[in-house]
Structure 1
Amino acid sequence: MILPLLIGVGSGLSLIVAIGAQNAFVLRQGIRREHVLPVVLICGLTDAVLELLGVAGIGFVVQRAPVVLEIVRWGGVAFLLWYAWSAARRAMKPEVLVAGEGSDGSLKRTILACLAITYLNPHVYLDTMVLMGSIGNAQGDPARWWFVAGGALASVVWFFVLGYGARMLTKFFATPRSWQILDGVVAAVMLVIAARLVFGGVGV
């Protein structure tokens, strides 16, 4: 079933290969070489599990749970605003990052931040579970499971490439100015996504 596998890969990549909160977080961790493996595993495996649940029919339930999505929505807005403020503060003192001080913190803190970015965005459920679930189920049996395999493969490979490929940018980020630009972009991305959640809703 090569065709549904390829459709799954293409559909998965079309949803995750974009500038967003999750990708910005993974990129920054990769450049810092800080807790990269657990971060990429959380992001990649979460996508894979949500896609599987979507094709299994859970996406139908999520689509009809506006109250739950609203709670997730406002929790996501609060977290994104906090993270944007943190990135803006780092951008104002980039020399601390280059000196190796002022790390984002322990493995536990990094994992909690990654989980928050991943699960407090209602679009994760709408895109990964509802949209991917709909496309996958349209393939029929047994092709839909090959579709899931393709989508899961795309997610895992993408986050590993993003997280570990970011190391190639280490030389570029050897100056305070480079870190200032990165954290400025991260802050802007978080604010834009938060604004979309506030004014655009969850698009159910």
Structure 2
Amino acid sequence: MLTSFLAGIGLGLSLIVAIGAQNLFVLRQGLRREFVLTVALVCAASDAVLIAVGISGIGLVLAAVPWLIDVVRWAGAAFLLGYGLLAARRAWHPAGATLQVDAAPTRGMSDAAPAATALVTRPRLAPVVLTCLALTWLNPHVYLDTVFLLGSVATTHGDARWVFAAGAMLASVAWFLALAFGSRYLSRWLATPRAWRILDGMIAVVMIVLAITLVLPH
């Protein structure tokens, strides 16, 4: 049982810890400190559902409908392209929404504690959650990796496959919480509009490249 649990954690992390659209979005929300816990939990919950789908064998049913993956692939490419273009627009014409970081920690706080921050703009929760869901569920790789690959490996663990699944789910929760809340320690280097323009420029490049690779023939 323990072996299956650790194997689930290992494979789960290997599939999640990579530079991708979802992780970059979580990182950006963590840096801006906007709905951080909500975004992390939405990503982790989505992964848990996908893992459960793969373990239950539904992934085999989806594999019999290849056109569904094509639909997701093109929809995901369109969404990533649009998101990338918006990030490029923010980089080229910044709106001034950035972190205002205090120069020194308040009295009584530890020097290691992050400085207090305030945001110039206050976005709504619904668009953030919808964007997070789209970046997760419109990514065809999430079905190929999380549903098909992870589900296939889980079957090799026999009766312990759900223990394997629990390990993979725990890895997902730990990763997204660490990424979302750990990113705030980078805020001191992203306290200027120029730094955010560079970050948005990097996000734009990654999103657009991902969109192109999705529609290229494999």
* TM-score computed with the length of structure 2 as normaliser: 0.87
The alpha carbon displacement at 1:97 in A equals 2.0
**Mapping 1:162-173, distance limit 5 Å:** 162-173=179-190
Cα RMSD of the aligned pairs, angstroms, is 1.4
Per the alignment, residue 115 of structure 1 pairs with 133
Q: Flag the 1:102–1:89 CA change in 2: closer, same or farther, 3 A.
A: farther
Alpha-carbon distance between aligned partners in 2 of 1:101 and 1:85, rounded to the nearest angstrom: 22
Alpha-carbon distance between aligned partners in 2 of 1:65 and 1:146, rounded to the nearest angstrom: 28
Greater helix share, structure number? 1
Unpaired stretches in structure 1, ≥5 consecutive residues: none
Residue deviations 1:122-157 (CA, integer Å, cap 9, x gap): 11111101000000011111x111100000000011
Alpha-carbon distance between aligned partners in 1 of 2:214 and 2:182, rounded to the nearest angstrom: 30
Structure 1 residue identity aligned to 2:71: I
Rg bigger for which structure? Answer: 2
How many positions carry a matched residue from both structures? 199
Structure 2 residue identity aligned to 1:193: L
Alpha-carbon distance between aligned partners in 2 of 1:145 and 1:133, rounded to the nearest angstrom: 10
In the alignment, structure 1 residue 159 sits paired with structure 2 residue 197: no
In the alignment, structure 1 residue 181 sits paired with structure 2 residue 205: no
The alpha carbon displacement at 1:92 in A equals 1.5
The alpha carbon displacement at 1:67 in A equals 1.4
In the alignment, structure 1 residue 68 sits paired with structure 2 residue 84: no
Residue deviations 1:11-64 (CA, integer Å, cap 9, x gap): 000001000000000000000000111111111111111111101101111222
Per the alignment, residue 84 of structure 1 pairs with 84
Per the alignment, residue 20 of structure 1 pairs with 20
Alpha-carbon distance between aligned partners in 1 of 2:124 and 2:131, rounded to the nearest angstrom: 11
The alpha carbon displacement at 1:101 in A equals 4.0
Identity %: 54
The alpha carbon displacement at 1:175 in A equals 1.1
Structure 1 residue identity aligned to 2:91: A
Task: Indicate conservation of the 8 Å contact 1:95/1:176, yes or no.
Answer: no
Alpha-carbon distance between aligned partners in 1 of 2:29 and 2:130, rounded to the nearest angstrom: 13
Alpha-carbon distance between aligned partners in 2 of 1:35 and 1:54, rounded to the nearest angstrom: 29
Task: Indicate conservation of the 8 Å contact 2:32/2:98, yes or no.
Answer: no
Per the alignment, residue 128 of structure 1 pairs with 146
The alpha carbon displacement at 1:84 in A equals 0.2
* TM-score computed with the length of structure 1 as normaliser: 0.93
Task: Indicate conservation of the 8 Å contact 1:63/1:126, yes or no.
Answer: no
Alpha-carbon distance between aligned partners in 2 of 1:31 and 1:75, rounded to the nearest angstrom: 28
Structure 2 residue identity aligned to 1:184: G
Residue deviations 1:53-92 (CA, integer Å, cap 9, x gap): 1011011112221111111111111110110011001111
